Amino acid sequence: MILRKSKIFIIFSGVALFLSSCASNKLDLYSQSAAISGKGGTYKVGKPYQIAGKWYYPEEDYDYVETGTASWYGKDFHAKYTANGEIYDMNTLTAAHRTLPLPSIVRVTNLENGRSLVLRVNDRGPFAKNRIIDVSKRAAQLLGFQTQGTAKVKVEIMAEESKNLKAALTGKSSVTYASSGNKNNTGKIITIPKKKVNAYNNYAANSNGGYYVQAGSFSNMNMAENLKNQLQRYGQIKIMPADVNGSTFYRVRVGPFSEQSAADMALSRIRNAGLVDAKLITE
């Protein structure tokens, strides 16, 4: 599936959201499919290998969690093949890892600023200075460490998403997601060569839930309406007025969700879109 980019234009002021890596108010909008889709490539784990005298042992570890240093790689590898045969694009949301299956889906959290992204691991590395993951240039921008080069991060494999991706790429039976019991919350990743379906689209907002993703808060109603219109594909959108020290702010929220896991997925998608200050709200 070819990665599709769309763009949104939002005028920011006051408490409006701002992405520090952008020089203007023009944001690149990435859906979660930016992480789970890939062009070409195959599923592989790989045999043990040795780099600079150190051995690495790839394995399917669906309990993997590690804290350490992340770095990023860019134009020197752009448009070249990754370890599983994909074409590396430094402007998409991907990463390199030393031992996880290729591809896998991981959540990377910058522990220095709290930003979090879901990335597709499709390459091997890094092999220098005890770093645990190399992320793409775009991922480093959104995680907020492109300029400084490295950051302390937490890397967690997303087990179900990774297993479903494996099933799609190996041609095994498709996997059904079920969340709150609403028929609209059930979907499939259809095996290649038919079609790959974004697993995260299977999580729909449930009107009886208590979890929201707050994407923005504005003193101007028109700005809130503008953001609401741009977020329709993420679920049910509400504008909730709130009085703060005598002033009215219009909070743009996605939801409600009946389960926190579904809300977390929506939060990750929205942050990946460039709205890095989005947060989870429980009511």
The whole-angstrom separation of Cα 122 and Cα 226 is 36
Other beta carbons within 10 angstroms of residue 243's beta carbon come to 8
Residues 6+ away with beta carbon under 8 Å from 136: 72, 73, 74, 88, 89, 90, 91, 92, 93, 94, 95, 119
**229's tokens:** 């219109």
Average pLDDT (265-270) is 80
Mean pLDDT of 65-81: 92
CB distance 84 to 166 below 8 Å: no
pLDDT at 164: 83
Token pair recorded at residue 148? 């400084």
Q: Mean pLDDT, to the nearest integer, of 210-229?
A: 86
State which amino acid sits at residue 268: S
- In this prediction, residues 192-196 reach a mean pLDDT of 30
The neighbour count for residue 191, using CB atoms within 10 Å, is: 17
Is the predicted pLDDT of residue 96 greater than 70, yes or no? Answer: yes
Average pLDDT of the chain? 73
Higher-pLDDT residue of 61 and 264 is: 61
* Residues 6+ positions from 152 with CB-CB distance below 8 Å: 67, 68, 69, 70, 110, 111, 112
CA dist 2 and 123 (Å) reads 18
Amino acid at 120: R
Give the C-alpha separation, 36 to 273, whole Å.
Answer: 14
Closest C-alpha to 13, from 212, 226, 214:
226
3-state secondary structure of 93: coil
Give the global pTM.
0.54
For the cut 60, the answer to whether the pLDDT of residue 129 exceeds it is: yes
The torsion angles phi and psi of 165, rounded to 5 degrees, stand at -65, -40
Amino acid 208: pLDDT:
43
Q: Look at residue 39 in the predicted model and tell me its pLDDT.
A: 61
Q: How many CB atoms lie within 10 A of CB 226?
A: 18
Residue 45 has pLDDT above 80, yes or no: yes
- Tokens 């775009």 locate to 138
Going by pLDDT thresholds of 50, 70 and 90, the confidence category of residue 10 is: very low
Least confident window among 57-61, 146-150, 206-210? 206-210
Query: In the block, which residue shows the tokens 């220095």?
Result: 112
| Cα first-last separation, the chain | 37
Find the range with the poorest average confidence among 77-86, 155-164, 274-283. Answer: 274-283
C-beta neighbour count of 120 within 10 angstroms: 27
Q: Taking residues 146-152, what's their average pLDDT?
A: 95
Contact 280, 242 (CB under 8 A): no
Mean pLDDT, rounded, for 137-158: 94
Alpha carbon distance 235, 213 (integer Å): 10
CA distance 184 to 180: 9
